[in-house]
A and B are shown apart, each in its own frame.
Chain A
Amino acid sequence: NAGVTQTPKFRVLKTGQSMTLLCAQDMNHEYMYWYRQDPGMGLRLIHYSVGEGTTAKGEVPDGYNVSRLKKQNFLLGLESAAPSQTSVYFCASTDPSSGRETQYFGPGTRLLVL
């Protein structure tokens, strides 16, 4: 099993450009999450999904959109990138069926917005 994978690993954007970050998991997990990590801020939840076709806002959703068209994939979109979105983005997934959820994280995507 590859676990949680993220594409791309690193990207540089200019202000106003758009891009999509892809998260894929092969563990058949129901729940998926997008976090951003900034120095001194820890990780903050952007959006999450509790199943295929569902999404919900987290703590810092502004400027991002998400889609969960397939259970194994969770896409994070930036329609018009801003320098404030320079960050490291982590995807995670978990299986809630056991009632003892542990989130598994991907390797991260480092995004620089100029």
Chain B
Amino acid sequence: AQSVSQHNHHVILSEAASLELGCNYSYGGTVNLFWYVQYPGQHLQLLLKYFSGDPLVKGIKGFEAEFIKSKFSFNLRKPSVQWSDTAEYFCAVTSYSGGGADGLTFGKGTHLIIQP
């Protein structure tokens, strides 16, 4: 069974600070990796995804993530955060061979608070 670990449950930053949220997964095969964001009172939105190719993927709102296969990691980054980035961030994985049939396995989430 696959699992996802997000290292930081709560992160507080000031505006313009740089952000890096850690995500590690455990699965022996090929995976598809995702970062979702949930703004207060809203549903999950896809930030970015990795399926194959360039391990550095860019998403919406200036976010990017780097897939490091040797470390089983898929960390999320943003050079300069804004107050509007306050949200819950979830890393998720699905097995490539499963074709998505077995659903996503989520990390427990990181609650990010940006102080003005």
Residues of A near any B CB (own CB < 8 A) = 31, 33, 35, 40-45, 48, 50, 58, 90, 92, 94, 96, 99-108
Contact = CB atoms under 8 A, between A and B. Distances in A.
B93 to A, nearest CB: 12
B99 A33 contact: no
B12 interface: no
B51 to A, nearest CB: 5
Contact of B103 (A33, A100, A106): A33
A94 B100 contact: yes
A101 B46 contact: no
Contact of B108 (A42, A50, A58): A42
B57 interface: no
B42 A103 contact: no
B51 A100 contact: yes
Given A101-B99, A102-B49, A103-B104, 11 more contacts: A31-B101, A35-B104, A41-B108, A43-B90, A44-B106, A45-B104, A94-B100, A99-B99, A102-B46, A103-B100, A104-B46
Interface residues of B, number: 26
Interface string B41-65: 0111110010100000000000000
Contact of A96 (B34, B100, B108): B100
Contacts of A102: 34, 46, 49
Nearest to B102: A48
A112 to B, nearest CB: 16
9 contacts: A43-B92, A44-B106, A45-B103, A48-B102, A50-B101, A99-B99, A101-B94, A101-B99, A102-B34
A6 B2 CA distance: 28
B99 A96 contact: yes
Contacts of A90: 43-44
A50 B106 CA distance: 19
A70 B44 CA distance: 24
Contacts of B4: 42
Nearest to A100: B51
